[in-house]
Amino acid sequence: MDSQQEFVLRTVEERDIRFIRLWFTDILGYLKSVVMAPSELESAFEEGVGFDGSAIEGFSRVSEADTIALPDPSTFQIVPFDGEDSPLQAARMFCDISMPDGQPSWSDPRQVLRRQVQSAAADGFECMVSPEIEFYLLQSVLTEGRRPIPTDNGGYFDQATHNEAASFRREAMLALEAMGIPVEFSHHETAPGQQEIDLRHADVLTMADSIMTFRYVIKQVAQRNGITASFMPKPFQNYAGSAMHTHFSLFEGESNAFHDSDDEFSLSKTARQFIAGVLHHASELSAVTNQWVNSYKRIMFGNEAPTAVTWGVSNRSALIRVPTYRLGKEESRRVEVRSIDSACNPYLAFSVLLGAGLKGIREGYELDDPAEDDVSLLSRRERRAMGYVDLPHSLDQAVRELERSELMAEILGEHVFEFFLQSKWEEWHKYQQQITPWELRTILDY
């Protein structure tokens, strides 16, 4: 038994933890949980916890149902919502999913990302990320298809004084910090009810775990305030969508591989090749970073959402933005991917972005000149005339691009790739089958 496992066992005993929640994620990014008693924890570290994988959508067939969850002791955290004096205090750990023979499960999104982490490490890189996560606070998500009602009428950076969750962000930040997730900033976003919380940078696998925890914590804090939180990419026609702008950098030991003090923008050749890789494969990976039908309402009509495959320096309309804050500070050099929305599966989204960037580095992709225009204000004809390639404008287009991509199939693995395609085609066909209120209002009397 290693020192981390011993620490967990000792903490559970000393803090009188009554329940251990074992967390993992399905292919579409839904959080799953198995609860066990502390008495079973030692054997769980040694042998894992068996469960029926066929009951989790996309995990395994009935004939291959036996699946094992192996708790990762480095992710142990006490859940903050049951006070210290509560007899029901619980803790959680993320799990890696394996097969009975000990091989990693090809269905486990965490394992998909770990493969890319190992691939980057083979090239001498560690990937660090920091996301800016946007979401809406609503009176309720049980609207029966009607327009939801936001909790306030605030705008960008507004100080909330008269709304239904005045203390929400403060409580959320304290809860996140209690679960070992450092927060850099929080503020009200541009639309009524819309919030943003930025997480401090961490290695990419830890951050994916943190984002799954973040969604859980935000929803719990909202519920405790008598409201609900939604990570839907674009719940309002007239308001901005919710993005997860994510800053990437690669480190070689203590050195930031994206930094070059001699470059005009302090961008190294490695950084430029990484950007070129993500741009080159942007259409192929869009279905993963923007996985829902609703995601493309944000891409097409969202404020400051990227519409074309471009990069720019301080250009918030570009797909990839190079921030110019503190150009001379090596550890701050990073690139910001702005297409990702808050409803992605972070394990898979980070996998395809990291994999595409590494492909650009390995094959020496060339980077075109940065975009200086407000790309979102250009017409499609103007974008094409300037040589810009549009991002997919629908889930249909995005899945077609994904289906043709050998690189995405390699990154995701055959099982995840095939199930993801099947699930997204099913979602698109169900969406197409709808007869919408707009159609009935405009065509019914023809």
- CATH code, domain carrying 289: 3.30.590.10
Together in a domain, 336 and 252: yes
Looking at the chain, the whole-number percentage of residues with pLDDT higher than 70 is 92
Confidence of residue 87 (pLDDT cuts 50, 70, 90): low
End of a domain among 43, 76, 105? Answer: 105
| pLDDT surpasses 80 at 403 | yes
Residue 446 lies in a domain: no
Q: Is 245 annotated as a binding residue?
A: yes
Q: Are residues 91 and 121 in the same domain?
A: no
Residue 400's pLDDT is 98
Instruction: Establish if 110 belongs to a structural domain.
Output: no
Assess whether 99 and 175 both reside in one domain.
Answer: no
| Segment 370-388, tens digit of pLDDT | 988 888 778 888 888 888 8
Q: Is 132 among the annotated ligand-binding positions?
A: yes
| Amino acid, res. 369 | D
Mean pLDDT of the chain: 90
Amino acid at 20: I
In a domain, 354, yes or no: yes
pLDDT at residue 61, as a whole number = 47
Q: Is 304 annotated as a binding residue?
A: yes
Residues 150 and 177 in one domain: yes
- Whether the pLDDT of residue 287 is over 70: the answer is yes
User: Please, are residues 18 and 89 in contact by the beta-carbon 8 Å criterion?
Assistant: yes
Among the candidates 84, 105, 126, a domain finishes at 105
Q: pLDDT value at position 165?
A: 60
- For 192-240, the pLDDT digits (tens) are 999 999 999 999 999 999 999 999 999 999 999 999 999 999 999 999 9
Was 372 annotated as part of a binding site?
A: no
Query: Which one of 105, 133, 154 terminates a domain?
Result: 105
The backbone region for 41, taken as left when phi is positive above 0, alpha when psi lies in -120 to 50, beta otherwise, is: alpha
- Structural domain of 204: 115-440
Could you tell me the pLDDT band of residue 421, with boundaries at 50, 70 and 90?
very high
CA distance 54 to 259: 46
- Shared-domain flag, residues 287 and 155: yes
CATH of the domain at 83: 3.10.20.70
Instruction: Cite the beta strand spans of 231-288 per DSSP E.
Output: 244-252, 255-256
| pLDDT (0 to 100) of residue 167 | 82
Annotated binding residue 42: no
Q: Please name which of 306, 415, 293, 410 lies closest in space to residue 351, comparing C-alpha atoms.
A: 410
User: Which residue, 217, 289, 243, is CA-closest to 133?
Assistant: 243
Same domain, 309 and 256: yes
Quote the CA–CA distance of 288 and 352 in Å, as a whole number. Answer: 8
Tokens 């049951």, residue located: 82
Strand-pairing partners, residue 187, are 196
Task: Please determine, for residue 64, whether its predicted confidence score (pLDDT) is greater than 50.
Answer: no
Measured in residues, the chain has a length of: 446
- Pairing assessment for the beta strands 244-252 and 183-188 based on DSSP bridges: unpaired
Answer yes or no: do 318 and 354 share one domain: yes
d(C-alpha 244, C-alpha 196), whole Å: 9
Could you tell me where the DSSP H helices lie in 48-145?
109-122
In this structure, the answer to whether residues 51 and 147 fall within a common structural domain is no
For the cut 60, the answer to whether the pLDDT of residue 122 exceeds it is yes
184 among annotated binding-site residues: yes
330 is in an annotated binding site: no
Q: Is 189 annotated as a binding residue?
A: yes
Beta-ladder partners of 341 = 243
pLDDT at 279: 97
149, 131: one domain: yes
Same domain, 152 and 11: no
Contact 261, 328 (CB under 8 A): yes
380 labeled part of a ligand binding site? no
Q: So what's the pLDDT on residue 63?
A: 36
| 281 appears as a binding residue in the annotation | no
Confidence at residue 57, expressed as pLDDT on a 0 to 100 scale: 60
pLDDT digits (tens, 9 = 90+) for 300-357: 876 778 989 999 998 888 999 998 877 667 788 899 999 999 999 999 999 999 999 9
Please tell me whether residues 176 and 199 are part of one structural domain: yes
Whether 20 contacts 12, CB under 8 Å: yes
> So what's the pLDDT on residue 311?
94
Find out whether 418 is annotated in a ligand binding site: no
Instruction: Answer yes or no: is 6 a known binding residue.
Output: no
